[in-house]
Amino acid sequence: YQPPLLWGKSGHLQTIIYAKLGRIKSPYPKGRRKYIVMPDGATMTYDLFEPHCSHKSKGDFTFLMVPGIANSSEASYICTFVNYAQDHGYRIAVLNHLGALPSVQLTAPRIFTYGCTEEYHAMVEDVIQQYPNTKLLGVGFSMGANIVMKYVGESKEKEKKFLCVMSICQGYSASRAVSLLLDWQHMRRGYVYAMTANQKSLLRNHYKTLFSEEAVKKYNLDVDKILQSTSLLDLDELYSRRAGYKNVEEYYEDASCCNFLQNLELPAFFLNAEDDPLVPQPLVEIAKKYVGKYSVEFGCGACWAFSATGALEGQHAKKTGNLVPLSEQNLVDCSYTQGNNGCYGGLMTRAFQYVVTNDGIDKEKEYKYAAGDRLFCHYKKLFRGATASNYTALPSGNETVLQWAVAGVGPVSVGIEAWDSFQLYDSGVYYNKECTGTGLNHAVLAVGYGTYLGDDYWLIKNSWGTDWGMEGYAMMARNRENNCGIASQASFPIM
């Protein structure tokens, strides 16, 4: 992207000029408005826009879009996107945030919130009911992107409805954004003041419904203080978090999509501008960490295959003296009979059983990783890189036995419970007291152990690329009651 010379070199000028020109030159696509009454009596609306032509693939595709804070389908940037998508054969459904449309009155004492996905879910279900054969693409802008990403990360049932999702210019974590948005660097404080004024205007538009005597009493609202707020933090403390949260920190944590990104397995696109005054680089790093997770796996949940090949390579090198990279894709494509599910998960013991039964696994250079499930197994004995005669599963939860195996046998495949904090690991000994290991959801390779600054650790190799952790490795707590289940599912092949 090459920004225009006259006004494109400044993020501030881009924002101001587009805000003015967009209102003049923006197309105004025509759609039909849908109304859905929510369980609490609130009336959500969304606008549905049909494509102007057939999609070039002849397929049926629908964008399910969520605008930015306090916006609706009538915002100029949304109109521009909708018109462009229609011209390329896409249907678009645009969620109108509760309270954002002056022409639609609130029917319950609440407006949109930063992380509420209930209205988006209602739109998703309604579109599926109308177009059961369409393929869904989720897209959100700013706050809307947070809602989309949080929604698909909430459950596999929700995620599997989408072909892919797109996040445009969001900050990923409300709690981490607070301190950044309250300073004046890049005029952030000024932008926040303007956004706060806009949201207060919205509250005033629906004053009678939002600040009824019943609502004020129920949520303990101080209306004067709310309308005197000078920042979004003030508004959220005095108003938004009152509906069920002890404090604003708890509200932000519950609302932020960064706590759900680790659950995603579908293709996801993240777009941020380097000069975005409202989303500084520390917030963008959250997305980079998530994307870094897939720098090797590339969106295919094949951690089990990487762990298994690591253990196989270790045993083969120990036996022959040669380190031969082995094919993860071979395991992804070919071990279904043993009970594995390709990119949707598997177990290392089943992978080892496949190698035993198949009498071999191909070399990586001959059976390259494709980051996806193939329709057929392409194993060729001619390209075999290693074999195995059996495998051993270690006693569950016994770190002493695991230590013996790592020292005496070599790299050991282990399953762990990976929290979002593990995803953001950078250095030091990782320990999470809440990570009990009851929900194993990731596989790594235990390659060593030691003590660092008085803390015992396991040295593990991850499959998320060298940009993650300590160039792809991490130190995980050892002798801390099997933290994160490090010894709960440990195994190695026998050659």
pLDDT in tens, the chain (495 residues): 666 666 666 666 666 666 666 556 778 899 999 999 999 999 999 999 999 999 988 889 999 999 999 999 999 999 999 999 999 999 999 999 999 998 999 999 999 999 999 999 999 999 999 999 999 999 999 999 999 999 999 999 999 999 889 999 898 888 777 766 666 666 777 777 888 888 899 999 999 999 999 999 998 999 999 999 988 888 889 998 888 888 988 998 899 998 888 888 788 889 988 777 777 777 777 777 665 544 455 568 899 999 999 999 999 999 998 899 999 999 999 999 999 999 889 999 999 999 999 999 999 999 998 877 765 899 999 999 999 999 999 999 999 999 999 999 999 999 999 998 898 899 999 999 999 999 999 999 999 999 999 999 999 999 998 888 999 999 999 999 999 999 999 999 999
Q: Which CATH superfamily is domain 303-494 in?
A: Cysteine proteinases (3.90.70.10)
- With vertex at residue 369, the alpha carbon angle to CA 365 and CA 370, rounded to the nearest 5 degrees, is 135
Q: What pLDDT is stored for residue 344 in this prediction?
A: 86
Residue pointed to by tokens 């696994």:
361
Q: List the structure tokens of 38.
A: 């929510």
Q: What pLDDT is stored for residue 21 in this prediction?
A: 62
**How many Å apart are CA 298 and CA 372, to the nearest integer?**
8
Q: Which CATH class is domain 11-292?
A: alpha beta
Q: Give the helix ranges, DSSP H, for 38-187.
A: 76-87, 118-130, 143-154, 156-159, 174-181
**How many Å apart are CA 77 and CA 74, to the nearest integer?**
9
Q: At what angle do helices 188-205 and 174-181 cross, to 10 degrees?
A: 110
Strands across the sheet with 43-49, in order? 32-37, 43-49, 91-96, 61-66, 135-141, 162-168, 268-271
Type of residue found at 491: S
What sign has the CA pseudo-torsion 63, 286, 174, 189? negative
Q: What pLDDT is stored for residue 376 in this prediction?
A: 80
Domain boundaries, the chain: 11-292, 303-494
Burial of 199 (0-12, 13-18, 19+ CB in 10 A): buried
Q: List the structure tokens of 415.
A: 């399953």
Q: What pLDDT is stored for residue 299 in this prediction?
A: 63
Confirm if 193 and 230 have CB atoms less than 8 A apart. yes
Q: Which of 317, 488, 323 is nearest to 396 (CA)?
A: 488
- 140's enclosing H/E stretch is strand 135-141
Confirm if 329 and 367 have CB atoms less than 8 A apart. yes
Cβ atoms < 10 Å from Cβ of 198? 12
Q: Which of 454, 438, 403, 444 is nearest to 422 (CA)?
A: 444
Type of residue found at 110: R
Q: How many residues in total does the chain contain?
A: 495
Q: What pLDDT is stored for residue 265 in this prediction?
A: 78
Burial of 367 (0-12, 13-18, 19+ CB in 10 A): buried
Cβ atoms < 10 Å from Cβ of 389? 10
